[in-house]
Structure 1
């Protein structure tokens, strides 16, 4: 009696090899994405900066605040939205806004030492409270007029002055630094309690249009590698223009 044929086809040994190759290709594609997203802090580029056809403006409100300056009363001058440098924006120069904490020496305010108060207090004027009933404190009454007055809120300045410094040279290192994505805060990341000021710069193209660049930062909000000042110092200052907002 002839053998009965089995309807089930024998497995093709080449099919297993093809499946393994497909799995290897898929792993090659997926693994880098998993490693990029699963190891270390995540990173992200901010939206592209708004292109200002009118050019750079170092007297814009946001720029003044970024320099540590308070805009004068009634000063309403919004800045273009900052962000990453647009891909089709061809920068040929940098305008570095300098003022406040980054003001040139001739714009630095005069600082006088505060008057020394300790040597003006005689021992008889020093009131000490020792142990004893509360009624004993009656003899140590303090005249409220002798207490220092509560300082009044600091009013907005009448005017503020900044300097627009045009920088030229090899912009490649600076553009490469600005093109890096910012790191996002990692879970339970401990950040130092400190403030870091950063340069406020515009990138300008050959047509005079400008974008307000946003510096890439760490998860704690500090400059990546803190290399911003050095990158600007490597460029040549070709022009400085003083700008004043408010009454001169």
Structure 2
């Protein structure tokens, strides 16, 4: 009996298997390539040109209730966009995205405006590059960075200014190569803008107060990895008559981390410190747990006082960090 052609020498059967394999490979490639399928690229209009550049206030300023300095009083925000072909920048300014990491004794904070000059060709090429169409499979995109970027302005020879926008990639993320090109140029000037804090805004920003809090010594002990220390300190001086003066606040360069846990109990001492630094310790617990006040005696008995905890003897490292 003659076999069906499908099975003659297995050749037709092999052909079917090859076709099936090819179809599976093609389908797999199509499915894996869905993330590369893009919609239409978004259009960007040319940026609006205004009479002068005005720095945007740093991130979080509004939440802190800070009033912009006079030279930066709010003006209608111009439309950002591409750099027009007839706009020839001779300078750029970038404005810090964060307030400075220190506050003066009079509660003055600051942020800087930086002026850059040089050849802007590479920067404009990247600023005016077309955006990519949105990727069909947005789930294949990474996580967007929430870090703010400096406020950027371009300025021409007449002092006119515009705020450029950035192209986006297929995940909608800003492509900030133009900004990075500008930051490679020569910085020719730096202007400090000053803002005035209130005790409340200082507390929100630094986690400490211009009014010194002296913790009550207790009997509790810290548990390793069950607490964290504030990242900033407020500093104070004590005069011979006992009056206490706030001398400023600063974000620490290095975290105090778990250093308190390794400190030994303090020795008996009655000296009065003339220089102290205040911060906080937050114990692990419910989300609404209140931070505990901490006072480090930089001189005198050189103790670390934590509310309702035993007094600890400060190490040289701790004293160096908070001084």
Give the structure-1-normalised TM-score.
0.52
Stretch deviating more after TM superposition (182-191 or 231-240): 182-191
Whether 1:244 and 2:194 are equivalent positions in the alignment is yes
1:161 — aligned with what?
110
CA distance in structure 2 between the aligned counterparts of 1:96 and 1:46, rounded to whole angstroms: 21
2:153 — aligned with what?
202
Runs of 4+ displaced beyond 4 Å: 38-41, 73-76, 245-248
CA distance in structure 2 between the aligned counterparts of 1:91 and 1:51, rounded to whole angstroms: 12
Match of 1:218 among 146, 169, 179: 169
Match of 2:101 among 105, 108, 116: 108
2:60 — aligned with what?
69
Work out which structure has the larger RCO, using CA pairs closer than 8 Å and 6 or more positions apart in sequence.
1
8 A Cα contact 2:45 2:81, kept in partner: yes
User: Number of paired residues?
Assistant: 151
**Do the aligned partners of residues 74 and 241 (structure 1) sit closer, same or farther apart at CA in structure 2, a change above 3 Å counting?**
closer
Q: Could you tell me which runs of 5 or more consecutive residues in structure 1 were left unpaired when the two chains were aligned.
A: 1-37, 111-157
CA distance in structure 1 between the aligned counterparts of 2:90 and 2:190, rounded to whole angstroms: 17
**Do the aligned partners of residues 231 and 159 (structure 1) sit closer, same or farther apart at CA in structure 2, a change above 3 Å counting?**
same
Match of 1:94 among 92, 99, 109: 92
Deviation at 1:233, TM superposition (A): 3.0
CA distance in structure 2 between the aligned counterparts of 1:108 and 1:204, rounded to whole angstroms: 29
Higher helix share: 1
Alignment partner of 1:52: what SS?
Answer: coil
Whether 1:182 and 2:131 are equivalent positions in the alignment is yes
Deviation at 1:40, TM superposition (A): 4.7
Give the structure-2-normalised TM-score.
0.41
CA distance in structure 2 between the aligned counterparts of 1:180 and 1:228, rounded to whole angstroms: 9
1:193-219, CA deviations, whole angstroms, 9 ceiling, x for partnerless residues?
332433321000000010011111213
**Do the aligned partners of residues 81 and 180 (structure 1) sit closer, same or farther apart at CA in structure 2, a change above 3 Å counting?**
same
Q: Could you tell me which runs of 5 or more consecutive residues in structure 2 were left unpaired when the two chains were aligned.
A: 1-35, 199-323
2:83 — aligned with what?
85
1:111-148, CA deviations, whole angstroms, 9 ceiling, x for partnerless residues?
xxxxxxxxxxxxxxxxxxxxxxxxxxxxxxxxxxxxxx
8 A Cα contact 1:57 1:79, kept in partner: no
Higher strand share: 2
Match of 1:192 among 138, 142, 147: 142
Deviation at 1:245, TM superposition (A): 4.6
TM-align CA RMSD? 3.0
Deviation at 1:79, TM superposition (A): 2.3
**Do the aligned partners of residues 74 and 68 (structure 1) sit closer, same or farther apart at CA in structure 2, a change above 3 Å counting?**
closer
**Do the aligned partners of residues 244 and 74 (structure 1) sit closer, same or farther apart at CA in structure 2, a change above 3 Å counting?**
closer
